[in-house]
Amino acid sequence: MSASSVTVLVGGEAGQGLVTVGDFLAKALVRAGYEILVVQDYLSRIRGGHNTYCVRVSPDPVHAPPENVDLLVALDQASLALHGPLLSPGGLALAGEKTDLGGLPGLNVPYSRLCPRPVHENMAALGVLAGLLCLERSWLEGLITERFAAKGGDEAALNLKVFSDALDWTRESGASFACLPPPMRREKRLFLNGNEAIALGAMAAGVNFCSFYPMTPATSVAAALVAPGGRMGVLTEQAEDEIAAVNMALGASAAGARVLVPTSGGGFALMVEGVSLAGMIETPLTVVLAQRPGPATGLPTRTEQGDLNLVVHAGHGDFPRAVYAPGTPEQCFDLTFRAVNQAEKWQSPAFVLTDQYLADSYRAVAPFDLEALPPLDLPGLETPDPHGYERYALTENGVSPRLIPGFGEHLVVLDSDEHTPDGHITEDLGVRVRMVDKRLRKGRGLEADAVAPSLAGDAAPEVLLACWGSSLGACLEAAQTLRERGTSAAVLHFSQVWPLVPESFLPVLEGAGRAVMVEGNPSGQLAKLIRQETGFAFHGLVTRYDGLPFTAGYILARLGSPQGTSTVAGEEVSA
């Protein structure tokens, strides 16, 4: 078992209640004051298939998925075969009384004696986990009561009894497992995953319209907006397809709404013409793209960072855009707020690139400080010169005064064809050049507002791990391990990947002994983009595209001598 954290993995078939066990355990740990990181793995099936819910817990911050498993809750025989080899020294497997542990150290839990019905086996498993980890009974009993009280009848009492009996059985069994160290924190925090943080960031930014077509792993952004958003005046609309979703959002935006469109790679591919339309009619649009392995349907319930090129180059013609890539739920909140506001400020599309791992990964998150957020950029409603109003007036920074139709005598004209400053169609080629230049001038503003990459670790390190988006946590832990081994190391994280401002990161890259890009795609899309924009060539590239998130061990194993090699532009080289 790891000295600094404990990993609990619940495995079984979809429908066996493994998420219930994991959710109860993770929420109780957060309430108690622990740090957690949840990784969910599920197959692309409506029903059945092997799923896992993995909770890594520690009194100290944890940043990345674990390498091994300390407690394996096997709700079926397949879980033992698949995950048993990952058991750490001192680890235990928990299975039913009739299940063959196959030589693994563990417990056969008497579910048939503890549970009145098989449906309660997950609650018994929770009791066993509480006993082994020495959790206070009250942490979980409160949650169980909250969850089942709403169902009425004796459901809450029944589940409480199963939980309590299983906990008592575990303590009486004499099973040996190290108790969790006491938690370090006392303040209240949120139990939040990346997509829920995006939804909260959108609401904080004043989003009041969300149109979408369901697509894993983006759908939960819209789902998280439905109930709380509804109470705050957010209209969430499921469109008939992705093309309708993006154009519906553009219509709402033109009418003054602040809009959000969550989707995934395949859905976004259908939205590209709408993105071009947003660029041409200069109407704010924020798209959340939750990445999964492509192309086409790919691995729809797994993770990857393969859509950077798609987003940066989406659309025909040239128009500016901002692309953000959060690495934590906190950044999901902050950067979604920022994306919505930047789209409004510069009247250009903005994007938030997340992925399945971050979307489904729960953490303990401090409540967001809404008072510290900057003021919102809002469109105007009236003008003292309504008859002289020009929606696309030529301005120094490219941003034209934006008024909302229907709030005065002014006329707002939008046109997807090239248009004059007052919005009417034109084939005057001189006007065409002036309008293109006007739209592109907004790009300078987006560059000035760009979020600089963050540097964590040693200045001028021997090894610099560059990354973007959700690869942050694994890189931080890999760099920490390198420093513990005596190697100077740091992490350069790009939370905004477009536009790139070389002055904000090039000196750091050039000052490192060895700069290695870590990306969840096979070609190193950001590494190539940086080389295209700056000429800087990374010394190495660590990629992962098997549908799983990075771990520190995965990165370290590929960093090179003596563990192996890394790659540059697809070529094996000595690291």
Contact 437, 429 (CB under 8 A): no
Check if the beta carbon of residue 468 is closer than 8 Å to that of residue 519: yes
User: By CB neighbour count within 10 A (0-12 exposed, 13-18 middle, 19+ buried), where does 110 fall?
Assistant: middle
Q: How far apart are CA 120 and CA 117, in angstroms?
A: 6
Closest to 55 measured CA to CA, from 11, 99, 15: 11
| Torsion, Cα of 306, 194, 55, 370 (10° steps) | 150
In sign, the C-alpha dihedral spanning 126, 131, 136, 137 is positive
> What is the set of domains in the chain, with CATH numbers?
6-173 (3.40.920.10), 191-372 (3.40.50.970), 454-560 (3.40.50.920)
Nearest C-alpha neighbor of 353 from the set 208, 218, 518: 218
Tokens of residue 107, six digits: 């417990």
Count CB atoms within 10 A of the CB of residue 196: 23
Whole-structure pTM value? 0.95
Q: What is the dihedral of CA 92, 93, 99, 100, to 10 degrees?
A: -60
Rama region for 269: left / alpha / beta (φ>0; ψ in -120 to 50; rest): alpha
Phi, psi of 498, rounded to the nearest 5 degrees? -165, 135
What string of pLDDT tens digits covers the 575 residues of the chain? Answer: 455 799 999 999 887 888 999 999 999 999 999 999 999 999 998 777 899 999 999 999 999 999 999 999 999 999 999 999 999 999 999 999 989 999 999 999 999 999 988 888 999 999 999 999 999 999 999 999 998 887 777 889 999 999 999 999 999 988 889 999 998 878 899 999 999 999 999 999 999 999 999 999 999 999 999 988 888 899 999 999 999 999 999 999 999 999 999 999 999 999 999 999 999 999 999 999 999 999 999 999 999 999 999 999 999 999 999 999 999 999 999 999 999 999 999 999 999 999 999 999 999 999 999 999 999 999 999 999 999 999 999 999 999 999 999 999 999 999 999 999 999 999 999 999 999 999 999 999 999 999 999 999 988 999 999 999 999 999 999 999 999 999 999 999 999 999 999 999 999 999 999 999 999 999 999 999 999 999 999 999 999 999 999 999 999 999 964 433 444 433 433 33
